[in-house]
Structure 1
Amino acid sequence: MPSNEQRRETAKRKLERQLERRAERARKRKQMTIAGSALGVVVVVAVVAGLVWLNTGNDDTSESATDTTAASEQSAAVMPVGRSTPLPDTVSCSYPADGQTPAKAANPPRTEGIPATAPDATPSISIETTQGNIGLNLDGTLSPCTVNSFVSLAQQGYFDNTPCHRLSTTGLQILQCGDPSGTGSGGPGYGFDNEFPTDQYADGDPALSAPVTYSRGTIAMANTGAPGSNGSQFFLLYGDSQLPPNYTVFGTIDDTGLATIEKVAAGGDDGSMTAGGGKPNLPIEFTSVRVD
């Protein structure tokens, strides 16, 4: 009978092999995406403003359920818990035009004197939907330019009468919203760079390709994978999900909001989207988005 030490060594070697396989798959996915972009071929999702480029985690389905469960917490790195250096009281932001026709008319946000400390940088958002209310607590101490854009769009009524066009219940547990066209390709006509946690890593750091855990209750921006491709689309996590740290975190969802999202998630999706998931079977639309 193997000793406890032998069992630990066997488990350690097994986990190392799993992590090596996952790292190799991540490198191959990156190479395929770059090649597809150069050839003008869409491999996962068409790279146009407002479309999200997310790792659905489906590659891990080749491993046994036991292996995945045993290694889940160890396979993902820990997301930074906060900024390594606090931001100044205010920052400057940039929102250049992205060359796309806006899904709904909107003016770009202001760019100077953007608050980056509480309480001015931490507004609350009240969303009324066709399935129940959702409350958001935004955090501009982490991502001030993202919060500034979201607040600006909300104040202009950009999100009003807008459907959430994508639900994922396998791998990723997200509800994606923010595109007035409801197609997954719409945006406000401008883009901006990633903030936290992406900006806590050096350019070219291999850790940017490794998964971290985006926790249940997190709000994060969707993007195409290209620099400066954040727009108006965002996703609401109703369960822990593993993604590379390339999606800007800018707040949290309250308990009422999580209950509303879980109600929608319980209905499943139609599986229509190549990036994973599809339109919710229980449709949900934002009827009103207000800054408290």
Structure 2
Amino acid sequence: MRILLALVLMVVMGGVVGVGGVAQASEEPYRDPDVTRGPCAYTKTPDDPAARPVKLPPDPRRTPDRGRVEVLLKTNQGDIPLVLDRAQAPCTVQSFLHLVEKKFYDATTCHRLTAYPTLKVLQCGDPSGTGERGPGYKYKDELPTNLPPAPNDPTGERRIYPRGTLAMANAGPDTNGSQFFLVTADSTLRPNYTVFGKIKPEGLRTLDKVAASGIKPTPDNPAPVDGSPAKPVDIKRAKKDC
């Protein structure tokens, strides 16, 4: 499984931590001195071939690291507009925009919805719809350092990924590809997932509708907290919104 596998294991084995209060994402531009400025060194993954043919992203000597770019996910449940922040994660934004331009996300389904007390996300970005595939390449993490700490966390390691956060899924360190997740409510995680933008209010309204419909039951679990959305979310088209 491409994303949040370690997190799910922690949840099953006793939970992460409870989240108290509401975390607010800062509206100020954020610049992490440790993020990659380029080249990004996108690397092919022969053992994990692309779910849909796509070349490596452009990798200039200095990756654009200023400004914001808007992307619109047009879905069967409504529009989900996103704002990508180049300063926060230059290589991630470069890759995501490349996949948008190459129509990698078009006609794909968001395969996973979670409703754990500490993890509420919609996961998308795998054209196979299984959560196992990606673009046939990987690149390094650009991890956040400005997330608020989770309250009552004895380890002091967990952070709040606020509602409205746009972040990359992964299968371990430096395995970013095409899968991403949309945070529908404040979620508690170790800061091991690259944050590269935010979801605009219109998109949150669409996601609230999806989350309210819950997760599709299975014969073994009539009330799951992790699985396919009961209300399927199909990305009809992803496009740069000028």
TM beyond 0.5 = yes
Q: Residues 134 and 254 of structure 1 are in contact (CA less than 8 Å); yes or no, is this contact kept in structure 2?
A: yes
Which SS does the other structure have where 2:74 is aligned?
strand
What is the 5 A alignment of 1:231-270? Answer: 231-270=177-216
Q: Which has the higher helix share?
A: 1
Indicate how the Cα distance of structure 1 residues 209 and 159 shifts in structure 2: closer, same or farther if over 3 A, else same: farther
Q: Which has the higher strand share?
A: 2
Shift of 1:59: 4.9
Which residue number corresponds to residue 55 of structure 1? 7
What is the 5 A alignment of 1:1-292? Answer: 46=1, 50-56=2-8, 57-59=11-13, 68=18, 72=20, 82-85=30-33, 91-99=38-46, 100-112=48-60, 113-118=62-67, 122-171=68-117, 172-197=119-144, 210-225=157-172, 227-270=173-216, 277-292=226-241
Which SS does the other structure have where 2:93 is aligned?
helix
Which SS does the other structure have where 2:208 is aligned?
helix
Alpha-carbon distance in structure 1 between the residues aligned to 2:93 and 2:15: 35
Higher relative contact order (CA 8 A, sep 6+): 2
Which SS does the other structure have where 1:55 is aligned?
helix
Which SS does the other structure have where 1:151 is aligned?
helix
Alpha-carbon distance in structure 2 between the residues aligned to 1:62 and 1:116: 33
Q: Residues 95 and 192 of structure 1 are in contact (CA less than 8 Å); yes or no, is this contact kept in structure 2?
A: yes
Residue 239 of structure 2 aligns with an amino acid whose one-letter code is: R
Indicate how the Cα distance of structure 1 residues 231 and 153 shifts in structure 2: closer, same or farther if over 3 A, else same: same
Q: Residues 42 and 137 of structure 2 are in contact (CA less than 8 Å); yes or no, is this contact kept in structure 1?
A: yes
Q: Residues 198 and 248 of structure 1 are in contact (CA less than 8 Å); yes or no, is this contact kept in structure 2?
A: no
Instruction: Write the deviation string for residues 62-89 of structure 1: whole angstroms up to 9, x where unpaired.
Output: 99xxxx57xx46xx9x99x94453879x
Larger radius of gyration: 1
Percent of aligned pairs sharing the same letter: 39
Alpha-carbon distance in structure 2 between the residues aligned to 1:151 and 1:231: 12
Which SS does the other structure have where 2:43 is aligned?
coil
Structure 2 gap ranges (5+): 148-153, 219-224
Shift of 1:196: 2.9
Instruction: Write the deviation string for residues 145-194 of structure 1: whole angstroms up to 9, x where unpaired.
Output: 00000000000000000000000012311000000000000100000111
Q: Residues 35 and 142 of structure 2 are in contact (CA less than 8 Å); yes or no, is this contact kept in structure 1?
A: no
Instruction: Write the deviation string for residues 13-57 of structure 1: whole angstroms up to 9, x where unpaired.
Output: xxxxxxxxxxxxxxxxxxxxxxxxxxxxxxxxx5xxx34425244
Structure 1 gap ranges (5+): 1-45, 201-206
Q: Residues 222 and 235 of structure 1 are in contact (CA less than 8 Å); yes or no, is this contact kept in structure 2?
A: yes
Q: Residues 209 and 245 of structure 1 are in contact (CA less than 8 Å); yes or no, is this contact kept in structure 2?
A: no
Q: Which aligned runs of 4 or more in structure 1 are off by greater than 6 angstroms? A: none
Alpha-carbon distance in structure 1 between the residues aligned to 2:114 and 2:73: 21
Residue 278 of structure 1 aligns with an amino acid whose one-letter code is: G
Alpha-carbon distance in structure 1 between the residues aligned to 2:232 and 2:83: 24
Alpha-carbon distance in structure 1 between the residues aligned to 2:104 and 2:198: 20
Q: Residues 154 and 289 of structure 1 are in contact (CA less than 8 Å); yes or no, is this contact kept in structure 2?
A: yes
Instruction: Write the deviation string for residues 185-221 of structure 1: whole angstroms up to 9, x where unpaired.
Output: 0100000111031699xxxxxx998210000000000
TM norm structure 2 = 0.81
Indicate how the Cα distance of structure 1 residues 58 and 262 shifts in structure 2: closer, same or farther if over 3 A, else same: farther
Q: How many residues align?
A: 223
Alpha-carbon distance in structure 2 between the residues aligned to 1:140 and 1:91: 12
Residue 176 of structure 2 aligns with an amino acid whose one-letter code is: N
For the aligned residues, what is the CA RMSD?
3.3
Indicate how the Cα distance of structure 1 residues 133 and 213 shifts in structure 2: closer, same or farther if over 3 A, else same: same
